[in-house]
Amino acid sequence: MIDENLADDIQKWMQEQVEARNADGVVVGLSGGIDSSVVGALAKKAFGENVLGVMLPANGTITKDVEYAELLADKFDIETLKVNMKEINKPLENTLKNIDIEENEQNHWPQTKIPTPNPAEQNIQTRLRMMTLYYIAEKKNYVVMGTSNKSEILTGYYTLYGDGGTDMRPIGDLNKTQVWELAEVLGIPKEIINRPPTGGCRGDESDRDEKEFGISYENFDKIYESINNHDDLSKFEEGDVKRVKELIDAAREKENVPTFQIAE
Protein backbone atom coordinates (compact mmCIF):
# COMPACT_ATOMS: atom_id res chain seq x y z
CA MET A 1 0.00 0.00 0.00
CA ILE A 2 1.14 3.54 -0.71
CA ASP A 3 2.01 5.93 2.09
CA GLU A 4 -0.91 8.08 3.19
CA ASN A 5 1.20 11.22 2.68
CA LEU A 6 2.34 10.31 -0.83
CA ALA A 7 0.08 12.79 -2.65
CA ASP A 8 1.21 15.65 -0.41
CA ASP A 9 4.86 14.66 -0.82
CA ILE A 10 4.59 14.64 -4.61
CA GLN A 11 2.82 17.99 -4.66
CA LYS A 12 5.49 19.57 -2.47
CA TRP A 13 8.22 18.12 -4.70
CA MET A 14 6.47 19.48 -7.80
CA GLN A 15 6.23 22.95 -6.26
CA GLU A 16 9.92 22.94 -5.34
CA GLN A 17 10.99 21.78 -8.80
CA VAL A 18 8.85 24.33 -10.63
CA GLU A 19 10.07 27.13 -8.36
CA ALA A 20 13.67 26.07 -8.98
CA ARG A 21 13.05 26.56 -12.71
CA ASN A 22 11.56 30.03 -12.16
CA ALA A 23 8.45 28.86 -13.98
CA ASP A 24 4.95 30.23 -13.54
CA GLY A 25 2.99 26.99 -13.77
CA VAL A 26 2.68 23.63 -15.48
CA VAL A 27 1.30 22.01 -18.63
CA VAL A 28 -0.12 18.48 -18.53
CA GLY A 29 -1.09 16.50 -21.61
CA LEU A 30 -4.44 14.86 -20.79
CA SER A 31 -4.97 11.61 -22.66
CA GLY A 32 -7.97 10.23 -20.79
CA GLY A 33 -5.78 7.57 -19.19
CA ILE A 34 -4.99 6.87 -15.56
CA ASP A 35 -1.44 8.27 -15.52
CA SER A 36 -2.17 11.67 -17.04
CA SER A 37 -5.30 11.92 -14.87
CA VAL A 38 -3.30 11.36 -11.68
CA VAL A 39 -0.66 13.89 -12.73
CA GLY A 40 -3.36 16.39 -13.72
CA ALA A 41 -5.09 16.05 -10.34
CA LEU A 42 -1.81 16.38 -8.43
CA ALA A 43 -0.83 19.42 -10.49
CA LYS A 44 -4.17 21.11 -9.84
CA LYS A 45 -3.79 20.59 -6.10
CA ALA A 46 -0.21 21.89 -6.20
CA PHE A 47 -0.59 24.88 -8.51
CA GLY A 48 -4.25 25.87 -8.50
CA GLU A 49 -5.07 28.11 -11.44
CA ASN A 50 -1.55 27.86 -12.86
CA VAL A 51 -2.25 24.52 -14.51
CA LEU A 52 -3.20 23.96 -18.13
CA GLY A 53 -4.48 20.60 -19.33
CA VAL A 54 -3.94 20.05 -23.04
CA MET A 55 -5.84 17.53 -25.14
CA LEU A 56 -4.02 16.51 -28.31
CA PRO A 57 -6.20 14.22 -30.45
CA ALA A 58 -4.19 12.64 -33.28
CA ASN A 59 -4.57 9.72 -35.69
CA GLY A 60 -4.70 7.15 -32.90
CA THR A 61 -7.15 9.01 -30.67
CA ILE A 62 -10.62 7.61 -30.04
CA THR A 63 -13.69 9.48 -28.78
CA LYS A 64 -13.36 7.96 -25.32
CA ASP A 65 -9.89 9.50 -24.90
CA VAL A 66 -11.25 13.04 -25.18
CA GLU A 67 -14.39 12.26 -23.18
CA TYR A 68 -12.37 10.92 -20.24
CA ALA A 69 -9.88 13.80 -20.40
CA GLU A 70 -12.80 16.24 -20.21
CA LEU A 71 -14.32 14.21 -17.36
CA LEU A 72 -11.09 14.53 -15.39
CA ALA A 73 -10.79 18.25 -16.11
CA ASP A 74 -14.38 18.88 -15.03
CA LYS A 75 -13.93 16.88 -11.82
CA PHE A 76 -10.85 18.86 -10.75
CA ASP A 77 -11.71 22.17 -12.41
CA ILE A 78 -8.63 22.17 -14.64
CA GLU A 79 -8.44 24.78 -17.39
CA THR A 80 -8.02 23.01 -20.74
CA LEU A 81 -7.46 23.60 -24.40
CA LYS A 82 -7.63 21.23 -27.32
CA VAL A 83 -5.24 21.18 -30.25
CA ASN A 84 -6.29 19.00 -33.19
CA MET A 85 -3.11 17.19 -34.15
CA LYS A 86 -4.89 15.21 -36.88
CA GLU A 87 -4.57 18.21 -39.20
CA ILE A 88 -0.79 17.86 -38.94
CA ASN A 89 -0.41 14.16 -38.21
CA LYS A 90 -1.75 12.67 -41.44
CA PRO A 91 -0.03 15.03 -43.92
CA LEU A 92 3.30 14.64 -42.10
CA GLU A 93 2.94 10.86 -42.00
CA ASN A 94 2.16 10.80 -45.74
CA THR A 95 5.17 12.99 -46.49
CA LEU A 96 7.49 10.77 -44.48
CA LYS A 97 6.10 7.60 -46.04
CA ASN A 98 7.02 8.99 -49.46
CA ILE A 99 10.71 9.19 -48.54
CA ASP A 100 12.57 6.75 -50.75
CA ILE A 101 14.20 4.53 -48.16
CA GLU A 102 14.42 0.79 -47.78
CA GLU A 103 12.43 -0.36 -44.78
CA ASN A 104 13.74 -3.01 -42.42
CA GLU A 105 11.07 -5.09 -40.71
CA GLN A 106 10.72 -4.29 -37.00
CA ASN A 107 8.63 -6.33 -34.62
CA HIS A 108 9.12 -4.29 -31.45
CA TRP A 109 9.02 -0.72 -30.23
CA PRO A 110 12.57 0.70 -30.43
CA GLN A 111 14.84 -0.51 -27.64
CA THR A 112 12.19 -2.77 -26.12
CA LYS A 113 10.83 -6.30 -26.33
CA ILE A 114 7.28 -4.99 -26.69
CA PRO A 115 5.73 -6.04 -30.02
CA THR A 116 4.00 -3.50 -32.26
CA PRO A 117 3.28 -2.93 -35.95
CA ASN A 118 4.64 0.22 -37.60
CA PRO A 119 6.44 1.86 -34.65
CA ALA A 120 7.82 4.66 -36.83
CA GLU A 121 4.34 5.80 -37.87
CA GLN A 122 2.87 5.51 -34.39
CA ASN A 123 5.73 7.46 -32.82
CA ILE A 124 4.96 10.47 -35.04
CA GLN A 125 1.92 11.12 -32.87
CA THR A 126 3.76 11.21 -29.56
CA ARG A 127 6.52 13.42 -30.92
CA LEU A 128 4.04 15.89 -32.38
CA ARG A 129 2.36 16.07 -28.99
CA MET A 130 5.70 16.70 -27.29
CA MET A 131 6.45 19.59 -29.66
CA THR A 132 3.04 21.12 -29.04
CA LEU A 133 3.27 20.83 -25.25
CA TYR A 134 6.67 22.52 -25.28
CA TYR A 135 5.44 25.28 -27.57
CA ILE A 136 2.61 26.04 -25.16
CA ALA A 137 4.84 25.71 -22.10
CA GLU A 138 7.49 28.05 -23.48
CA LYS A 139 4.87 30.63 -24.44
CA LYS A 140 3.51 30.64 -20.87
CA ASN A 141 6.78 30.04 -18.99
CA TYR A 142 5.37 26.75 -17.74
CA VAL A 143 7.06 23.36 -17.38
CA VAL A 144 5.90 20.15 -19.06
CA MET A 145 4.80 17.51 -16.59
CA GLY A 146 5.63 13.93 -17.58
CA THR A 147 3.07 11.18 -17.10
CA SER A 148 5.23 8.05 -17.40
CA ASN A 149 5.14 5.66 -14.44
CA LYS A 150 7.95 3.41 -13.23
CA SER A 151 6.58 0.25 -14.88
CA GLU A 152 6.52 1.99 -18.26
CA ILE A 153 9.99 3.42 -17.79
CA LEU A 154 11.46 0.06 -16.76
CA THR A 155 10.03 -1.64 -19.85
CA GLY A 156 10.73 1.23 -22.25
CA TYR A 157 7.02 1.64 -22.98
CA TYR A 158 7.32 5.25 -24.07
CA THR A 159 8.67 7.20 -27.04
CA LEU A 160 12.05 8.87 -26.81
CA TYR A 161 11.53 12.59 -27.49
CA GLY A 162 7.80 11.92 -27.46
CA ASP A 163 5.95 11.18 -24.22
CA GLY A 164 9.40 10.53 -22.76
CA GLY A 165 10.37 14.15 -23.50
CA THR A 166 9.31 16.08 -20.39
CA ASP A 167 10.70 18.41 -17.74
CA MET A 168 9.63 16.37 -14.71
CA ARG A 169 8.33 12.91 -13.86
CA PRO A 170 6.15 13.22 -10.77
CA ILE A 171 4.99 9.58 -10.91
CA GLY A 172 8.19 8.20 -12.42
CA ASP A 173 9.06 6.29 -9.23
CA LEU A 174 5.55 4.84 -8.79
CA ASN A 175 4.79 1.51 -10.40
CA LYS A 176 1.45 1.08 -12.16
CA THR A 177 -0.13 -0.62 -9.14
CA GLN A 178 0.79 2.37 -6.97
CA VAL A 179 -0.63 4.77 -9.56
CA TRP A 180 -3.97 2.96 -9.35
CA GLU A 181 -3.86 3.19 -5.55
CA LEU A 182 -3.04 6.89 -5.68
CA ALA A 183 -5.87 7.47 -8.15
CA GLU A 184 -8.30 6.06 -5.59
CA VAL A 185 -6.93 8.41 -2.91
CA LEU A 186 -7.23 11.43 -5.22
CA GLY A 187 -10.78 10.59 -6.27
CA ILE A 188 -10.08 10.03 -9.96
CA PRO A 189 -13.37 9.05 -11.71
CA LYS A 190 -14.00 5.31 -11.62
CA GLU A 191 -14.42 5.17 -15.40
CA ILE A 192 -10.79 6.22 -15.77
CA ILE A 193 -9.46 3.98 -12.99
CA ASN A 194 -11.21 0.93 -14.43
CA ARG A 195 -10.22 1.61 -18.04
CA PRO A 196 -7.70 -0.93 -19.42
CA PRO A 197 -4.41 0.93 -20.14
CA THR A 198 -3.60 1.36 -23.84
CA GLY A 199 -0.93 3.09 -25.88
CA GLY A 200 -3.53 5.26 -27.60
CA CYS A 201 -1.81 5.18 -30.99
CA ARG A 202 -3.97 2.94 -33.19
CA GLY A 203 -7.41 4.51 -33.26
CA ASP A 204 -8.91 1.69 -31.18
CA GLU A 205 -8.05 -0.11 -27.94
CA SER A 206 -6.18 -3.02 -29.50
CA ASP A 207 -2.81 -1.75 -28.22
CA ARG A 208 -3.52 -2.67 -24.62
CA ASP A 209 -0.40 -2.45 -22.49
CA GLU A 210 -0.78 -5.80 -20.77
CA LYS A 211 -1.48 -7.61 -24.05
CA GLU A 212 1.75 -6.24 -25.52
CA PHE A 213 3.71 -6.81 -22.31
CA GLY A 214 2.61 -10.45 -22.19
CA ILE A 215 2.02 -10.08 -18.46
CA SER A 216 -0.33 -8.09 -16.22
CA TYR A 217 0.90 -4.93 -14.52
CA GLU A 218 0.11 -6.46 -11.13
CA ASN A 219 2.34 -9.46 -11.79
CA PHE A 220 5.04 -7.36 -13.43
CA ASP A 221 5.21 -5.03 -10.44
CA LYS A 222 5.30 -7.89 -7.92
CA ILE A 223 8.01 -9.76 -9.78
CA TYR A 224 10.12 -6.65 -10.33
CA GLU A 225 9.98 -5.78 -6.64
CA SER A 226 10.97 -9.34 -5.74
CA ILE A 227 13.89 -9.22 -8.16
CA ASN A 228 14.94 -5.84 -6.82
CA ASN A 229 14.76 -7.09 -3.23
CA HIS A 230 16.55 -10.37 -4.07
CA ASP A 231 13.52 -12.35 -2.89
CA ASP A 232 12.67 -15.95 -3.75
CA LEU A 233 11.12 -16.00 -7.23
CA SER A 234 9.86 -19.57 -7.11
CA LYS A 235 6.38 -18.40 -6.08
CA PHE A 236 5.93 -16.90 -9.56
CA GLU A 237 5.40 -18.63 -12.89
CA GLU A 238 8.78 -19.25 -14.51
CA GLY A 239 7.58 -17.81 -17.82
CA ASP A 240 6.41 -14.60 -16.12
CA VAL A 241 9.76 -14.10 -14.40
CA LYS A 242 11.56 -14.67 -17.69
CA ARG A 243 9.30 -12.13 -19.44
CA VAL A 244 9.87 -9.46 -16.77
CA LYS A 245 13.63 -9.87 -17.03
CA GLU A 246 13.45 -9.77 -20.83
CA LEU A 247 11.43 -6.55 -20.82
CA ILE A 248 13.71 -4.81 -18.33
CA ASP A 249 16.96 -5.95 -19.96
CA ALA A 250 15.85 -4.77 -23.41
CA ALA A 251 15.01 -1.26 -22.16
CA ARG A 252 17.85 -0.83 -19.67
CA GLU A 253 19.87 1.56 -21.82
CA LYS A 254 16.98 3.28 -23.59
CA GLU A 255 17.58 6.73 -22.13
CA ASN A 256 21.37 6.58 -22.19
CA VAL A 257 22.87 8.54 -25.08
CA PRO A 258 26.33 7.12 -25.85
CA THR A 259 28.85 9.98 -25.79
CA PHE A 260 32.42 9.71 -27.05
CA GLN A 261 34.94 10.50 -24.32
CA ILE A 262 38.28 12.08 -25.19
CA ALA A 263 41.10 10.11 -23.60
CA GLU A 264 42.88 11.93 -20.78
pLDDT band, residue 61 (cuts 50/70/90): confident
Q: How many CA atoms lie within 13 A of 196 on its CB side?
A: 11
pLDDT score of 264: 85
Residue 6 has pLDDT above 90, yes or no: yes
Residue 195 has pLDDT above 90, yes or no: yes
pLDDT score of 151: 97
Question: Average pLDDT, stretch 72-89?
Answer: 96
Spatial separation of the C-alpha atoms in residues 46 and 58, rounded to whole Å: 29
3-state SS class at 168 = strand
What residue spans define the domains of the chain? 6-251
So what's the architecture of 6-251 in CATH? 3-Layer(aba) Sandwich (3.40)
pLDDT score of 153: 97
- Cα R_g (the chain), whole angstroms: 19
pLDDT score of 53: 98
Residue 117 has pLDDT above 90, yes or no: no
First-to-last alpha carbon distance for the chain, in angstroms, is 49
Residue 170 has pLDDT above 80, yes or no: yes
Name the strand (E) or helix (H) holding 125. helix 119-140
CB atoms within 10 A of CB 11: 18
Contact of 49 with 24, CB cutoff 8 Å: no
Mean pLDDT (the chain) is 94
Q: What is the pTM of this model?
A: 0.95
Residue 63 has pLDDT above 90, yes or no: no
